[in-house]
Amino acid sequence: MPELVMLVLNDPDQTEDVLSAWLEMGVAGVTILSSKGLSQYMGQRSLRDDLPLFPSLEDLLQSRETPHRTLFVVVPDGFDVAALVAATENITGAFDEPNTGILFTVPVSRAWGLNRRQP
């Protein structure tokens, strides 16, 4: 059965390395989203306490937030997901460690367009 692989990557600077590793393993068609977690969302709603007495426009627009990257792809039946996880953890560190990210899979009962060839 195909699987949806979801990776929420804490360090957006690791995105290119993860994508390169996934491409080497035969993964194609990855979708990448900029995302943020609950703590970032709730923190954004509060007043900033680091502004100078007379802030400039740059000070007001500057954000302390570092967005995460969410990568997702559907892999075909029989794909070696364990090897994909291992290759990803070689870049991010073990997902059991803090501030690395979250990776999970979900079974996909039906999928269309997985076998399209790129021109």
Residue 59 lies in a domain: no
Residue 54 lies in a domain: no
pLDDT score at 33 = 93
Its domain, for residue 94, covers: 3-39+66-107
Counting the structural domains of the chain, the total is 1
Residue 52 lies in a domain: no
Successive 10-residue mean pLDDT values, the chain, 119 residues:
94 95 93 79 54 57 69 94 97 93 95 67
Distance of alpha carbon 83 from alpha carbon 57, whole angstroms? 47
pLDDT score at 43 = 56
pLDDT score at 86 = 97
Q: What is the pTM of this model?
A: 0.74
DSSP labels for 17-45? HHHHHHHHTT----EEEEE--HHHHHHHH
